Structure 1
Amino acid sequence: MVKHFDAFNYAYLLKSKTISCSTCKDRQTYDEWSVFIEKQDMIVWRRPHSSGNFEYKVYGSYHDVSGEDFLNVQIDTKYRKEWDNTAIQLDIVEADPNTESNSDIIYWEMQWPKFFTNRDYVFNRRFTVDCDKKIIVIISQSTTHPSYPVQKDKYRVTDYFSAMVVKPYTELDKPGIEFVLTYFDNPGVNIPNSINSWVAMRAMPDFLTRLREATKHYKPFCERTGNSCICTLEDRSGERKRKKKKCDRKPKLVGNVANDEVFGLNAGELEKAFENIKENVEHKLDDIKDDIKKVLSKIKEDLKENYNIEDKNKKIKRGTNDNSRDDYSDAENNENEEHHKKKTD
């Protein structure tokens, strides 16, 4: 994954090498990459692949989304079903028990146009965040899993690869990012290049546009549904203490079953509920401690006040009896002292 950290240098090189010729006005080709689509915030290159299809590379720059949200939108399978109407099924088949690896096996069924069979994928998705270099890398690679064998009514795409590299303008949790996406998949159907190009030119920008819009609405979605963000990146400024060394990735497992539900809540919702309960209990305990302190303080003041009144009464009584201790018998003095002691206790 580390080798993809250099993706931006190559993308910048492509931009400089494939610009229009100043004299002939034709596009240039570099390392077999040629410009396929160019928009205000996006450039797409493609080059021939040994399979007879094309491999694609995308450079994008979005000023209105953060790297943190951009990562979350791509790894949050629940949210993906909300904004991507081509995702018929999207499940986490298995998660690596070592949560620091950020590695999952995903099953994805993608809706294709009429007269075509839907495509489905089983792939390993993994991501890493280097907060010092301010780089996010998300890699997906086709694989197999016994829980999701090939089905007759779908075409299984077995040759699929995607690498997304993201870096911020300033900070990973602040708006403004650049990204480089390199991907290839073999859809398993032979169609004329002209039709393939037409589909790619329409589908690719449309998907990235929807991805961008979905990212801008991710936090409101989490607040609305009670869904906790999968990955929260700490502010790296020196003024705030760094509480976590890595991405705080919410566990996807309850027991041994991926995406299990307990009492109608999934793992993320359960964890958030328990965190809320813990926080409420801690607040209640603090309130109880404060109440106890107030009560003890009140008791202490009352005792002190009663002691002063009783002592004053004793002096007054002694004064009315010619200030003589002889007016009190030893038995009476002992009784008063014992009574005072019990009251103070």
Structure 2
Amino acid sequence: MSRFGERDFQQAWRELDEPQLGEGWQLFTETAGFTIHRHYIQDTGLYEYKVFGTLSTSPDLCADVYMDMAYRKQWDKYVKELDEKDYDGQKAIYWEVKYPFPLSNRDYVYVRECRELQVEGRRIWVVLARSSEVSQCPEKAGVIRVKDYRHTVALESAGTASTKVFMNYFDNPGGNIPTWLINWAAKTGVPSFLADMQKACDNYATYRSDRK
């Protein structure tokens, strides 16, 4: 049974064609072929982000790399732990993220789903993820649980070995992190992640071959 509705997937890919950047959205930064916009959320004092751009790879390969948790533990230097677990019949992903000293690490418990959609002859990959309440996954001492997290990715071919990318991202890291640090992390962390993602796609065939 899907944890996400059909409407969730439809809304995600439509922003590849018509970015929804209405009132409150502002251009945050542009880097390496990507534009990042943000929207202030009054209730949290934090920002939601939307990212638009292209990667030099095919969308199916990009989706495979994005969904491969074992591989991500190799190329993403911020991953301390990342595994899908069964919590008393409820499957969810546990993810612990390394934070720089003196900040505490954060961890997430979330569900996700990837679908390849056929839209009027177009092939579009959509990945949806959001935090999940799993009582059987206790919080760790010294690690702050992120309880409000959502992430959307839509991918479509933009030509030979090129992928059009849309990402929508929000999380509330909790704790006492200065606003300037959160802004700095968004401005540098998202481009850094995309650059690492590009390298991961470039090296995926070698990784798969080495595992055989």
Q: TM-score range by the shorter chain?
A: 0.7 to 0.9
How far 1:8 moved relative to its partner?
A: 1.6
1:143 aligns with 2:132: yes
* TM-score (normalizing by structure 2): 0.87
Measured in 2, the distance between the counterparts of 1:180 and 1:142 equals 20
Q: Give the SS at the match of 1:106.
A: strand
Output the aligned Cα RMSD.
2.0
Q: Give the SS at the match of 2:100.
A: coil
Letter in 1 for 2:18: Y
Letter in 2 for 1:89: E
Partner of 1:10: 18
Partner of 1:179: 165
Higher relative contact order (CA 8 A, sep 6+): 2
The CA deviation string for residues 124-155 of structure 1, in whole angstroms up to 9 with x for no partner, is 01111014431110000100224422222211
Measured in 2, the distance between the counterparts of 1:145 and 1:178 equals 34
Q: Provide the aligned length of Structure 1 versus Structure 2.
A: 200
How far 1:199 moved relative to its partner?
A: 2.1
Q: Residues 104 and 126 of structure 1 are in contact (CA less than 8 Å); yes or no, is this contact kept in structure 2?
A: no
The CA deviation string for residues 281-328 of structure 1, in whole angstroms up to 9 with x for no partner, is xxxxxxxxxxxxxxxxxxxxxxxxxxxxxxxxxxxxxxxxxxxxxxxx
Partner of 1:56: 49
How far 1:104 moved relative to its partner?
A: 5.6
How far 1:200 moved relative to its partner?
A: 1.7
Equivalences for residues 112-151 of structure 1 within 5 A: 112-131=99-118, 132-151=121-140
Q: Residues 93 and 147 of structure 1 are in contact (CA less than 8 Å); yes or no, is this contact kept in structure 2?
A: no
Measured in 1, the distance between the counterparts of 2:112 and 2:156 equals 19
Q: Which runs of 5+ in 2 are unaligned?
A: 1-8
Letter in 2 for 1:33: W
Equivalences for residues 184-223 of structure 1 within 5 A: 184-223=170-209
Q: Give the SS at the match of 1:202.
A: helix
Larger Rg: 1
Equivalences for residues 34-49 of structure 1 within 5 A: 34-49=26-41
Letter in 1 for 2:45: G
Q: Residues 119 and 187 of structure 1 are in contact (CA less than 8 Å); yes or no, is this contact kept in structure 2?
A: yes
Measured in 1, the distance between the counterparts of 2:91 and 2:72 equals 15
Equivalences for residues 219-230 of structure 1 within 5 A: 219-226=205-212
Equivalences for residues 221-300 of structure 1 within 5 A: 221-226=207-212
Measured in 2, the distance between the counterparts of 1:107 and 1:168 equals 30
- Within the candidate set 66, 80, 93, 1:74 is matched to 66
Q: Residues 144 and 175 of structure 2 are in contact (CA less than 8 Å); yes or no, is this contact kept in structure 1?
A: no
Partner of 1:105: 92
Partner of 1:84: 76
Measured in 1, the distance between the counterparts of 2:66 and 2:91 equals 13
Partner of 2:145: 156
Q: Closer, same or farther in 2 for the Cα pair 1:76/1:154, shift >3 Å?
A: same
- Structure having the larger proportion of residues in helix: 1
Q: Which runs of 5+ in 1 are unaligned?
A: 15-29, 98-102, 227-345
Q: Closer, same or farther in 2 for the Cα pair 1:31/1:10, shift >3 Å?
A: farther
Partner of 2:3: none
Letter in 1 for 2:142: D
How far 1:190 moved relative to its partner?
A: 3.5
Partner of 1:247: none
* TM-score (normalizing by structure 1): 0.55
Measured in 1, the distance between the counterparts of 2:115 and 2:47 equals 27
Q: Give the SS at the match of 2:162.
A: strand
